[in-house]
Chains A and B, each alone.
Chain A
Amino acid sequence: MKTVLYILTTCAVIGLAFWAYRENYATQQAFSDTAKLRVSIRNAHSRLAVLRAEWAYQNRPDRLRDLAEINFERLGLLPLHPDQFGQVDQVAYPPQPLLPITNPVDVSNMEAYP
């Protein structure tokens, strides 16, 4: 009985040691993955910051105004004017499409009497 117990304990120790060894390496791997992810997140953040700055720079009012002036012939953009305000009820609803005619009824029966 005791021998079996000893063997079992030894096996358990070996098994646990192997498990701990694997866990250790898995943890290290997870750490290095995290570190890589961090770096890529940081890079993405800085890329995002550059893009945001670029977006703000491209959309600066001076440039948009110049673009609106250059493309005036095509776009006809003018500064917003007080008389461009309207009421919601001044806007017409889009016309409803006509329902399809599924069962036509003959209203003329001239052909019935030859």
Chain B
Amino acid sequence: MIRTPLRPLARILDAREKGENPDAIERENKRIRHEQMRDASRQRAEGRLLVLGVFFFCAFAVISGRMAMMATSDPTEPRGAAVGAAISAARADIVDRNGNLLATNFETHALYAQPKHLVDPVGSAKKLVGIFPDLKEDRLIRTFTGKRKFLWLKKKISPEQMQAVHEIGDPGLMFAPRDMRLYPNGTLAAHVMGGASYGKEGVDAAEVIGVAGAEKFFDDYLRDPANGNKPLQLSLDLTVQAASERVLYGGMKLMNAKGATSVLMDVYTGEVISVVSLPTFDPNDRPRPAIVGDASDSPLFNRAVQGVYELGSTFKIFAATQAIDLGLVNAETIIDTAGPMKVGGFRIGEFRNKNYGPQSVTGIIVHSSNRGTGRLALQIGAKRQKEFLKSLGFFEATPFEIVEASGGKPLLPKKWTELSSVTISYGHGLSSSPMHLAAGYAAIANGGRKVKPTLVKQYGPQLGERVMSERAASDGRMMLRKVVSEGTASFGEVPGYQVGGKTGTADKPKPRGGYYDDKVIATFASMFPAHDPKYVLIVTLDEPVETSGDKPRRTAGWTAVPVAAEMIRRVAPLLGLRPTVEPGAPIGITLTSSN
């Protein structure tokens, strides 16, 4: 590079000769040089800007090109990504606590027709009626030859029927793939399962939605594609459920009852191991809800959670345990149960106008004395009784996870007077479902902690809030054991399982007020083994009558108790409970009579 000197000698000398300032030449040259430098750097900067501009343009062009391509291309599944096994379009299965299948999906097809593509509408219609006898031939011919472009013929068809339709060979008859909800065990646990049906239907697929029971309650979980291969595990035990249903059905028939229900619940975890409501139905072919008549006569009616009944004397134990818990009495305190007793202008009577005289609190429960528990209730007072029953969950619907449970709201008296307090202490005036009763008894059985019945498998005890002291609960259990060993529930004895429980026989209310004389709800609320209960079992029979004697017997001791005992005998070994041998009567001492 040629550098022009700032002070070229020739020009300096020339300037000196002329008497000019030679510094001006230097300044002039400096200025020119600076201008050149400035031009050069400007050019470089402009070049850089250009490159940057081109770069940005290219980047934006690439992005917008990619966007345009994405917007206009057809969607495809990612082919290179890992297998999408975690996402499944099918509804999740439902299994029992041991993983046995309770509900699953089955691929099937729906049949539809596009009449304008039919080659031989009349012939196809005739052949279709041959395969599906419930289709009407003349109507089919009318629609096939009419103006309709599309019609559904059948929602679900079997593979054999599909093959038969294939053999008709008409291109206008088409199949649409369908996922069908299948309950392989048929009527087993039908009320818990509920049933499923189709929501939005398209030619390629149809969504399966739960319509009742756990299928509806857990609909969001079951439909979530992320849960496709994570089955919903319930607390039910398939084997126990099947045995309970069998025993209860037999009992219902033997006792000539029109309905029956049973609830078997773990007292620590609140898991419902089996819940039966009879009569039942097949969730694979769910009947239509009854439009006329009493809803409770429909097989769809779930007596265990929706059947809100006055459960009779089974409530007495709540009054007794509360009185002990409050320190008002102990199990041996003597209370006079003699009449007459009048509360709020009403006479409180006993079963068959008996008179038990002075009785200990245990005796009141063992003999099921109305006046005895009534007097306990008067000592407790309406306010405390109300709070106690509320803490046991008798004031709202159970949180049991099927949709019907929210409909089983207990019926409470509008005004909690002294009279209602007394009647409620022996189970009249407050209607609740057998599931409520199971939760209440579970609190006594587990040592005084509230338990919420649940349908989902649990992995530990609930440890709810304390509703009564350990001592009150243990005294309650002792009294319940005595009811079976020496009281009204003597048929409830199951060797080896120390059943404790309380019977309850309540007259059915007439729809227009008053009570029937010959229609009862017989309930046996039990727990076993009574010294350290693990399970609570509630058996309720609707309108039972036992006719082996001279007179028809309707009390729970004759009807519900034997059924419950047989159920415990069958179910306890299945639950893995080993029978324990109680110490027998001392050998060698015989009770003799002088006459």
Which A residues have a C-beta under 8 Å from some C-beta of B? 31, 34-35, 38, 41, 46, 49-50, 52-53, 55-57, 59-62, 65, 79-85
Contact = CB atoms under 8 A, between A and B. Distances in A.
A65 B250 CA distance: 15
B104 A83 contact: no
Contacts of A83: 496, 579
Contacts of B101: 52-53, 55-56
A67 to B, nearest CB: 14
B182 A53 contact: yes
B3 to A, nearest CB: 34
Contact of A60 (B186, B243, B497, B570): B186
Given A56-B100, A79-B243, A34 B572 contact: no
Nearest to B95: A56
Interface of B: 79-80, 83, 85, 90, 100-101, 104-107, 182, 184-186, 188, 238-239, 242-243, 246, 494-497, 569-570, 572-574, 578-579
B107 A46 contact: yes
A52 B104 contact: yes
A58 B579 CA distance: 32
B497 A82 contact: yes
B184 A85 contact: no
B588 to A, nearest CB: 26
B281 to A, nearest CB: 15
A26 to B, nearest CB: 13
Nearest to B187: A62
A61 B238 contact: yes
A60 B184 CA distance: 7
Contact of B579 (A41, A62, A79, A85): A85
Contacts of A56: 100-101, 104, 184-185
A53 B185 contact: no
Contacts of A46: 107
A53 B573 contact: no
Given A34-B79, A49-B104, A82 B188 contact: no
Contact of B186 (A49, A50, A62): A62
Contacts of A60: 184-186, 188
Given A49-B106, A60-B184, A60-B186, A82 B238 contact: no
17 contacts: A34-B79, A35-B79, A41-B85, A49-B90, A49-B104, A53-B104, A53-B105, A56-B101, A56-B104, A57-B184, A60-B185, A62-B242, A65-B246, A80-B574, A82-B497, A84-B573, A85-B579
B80 A79 contact: no
Given A52-B104, A61-B188, A85 B578 contact: yes
Given A38-B83, A61-B239, 5 more contacts: A53-B106, A62-B186, A80-B573, A81-B573, A82-B494
A56 to B, nearest CB: 4
Contact of A82 (B79, B242, B495): B495
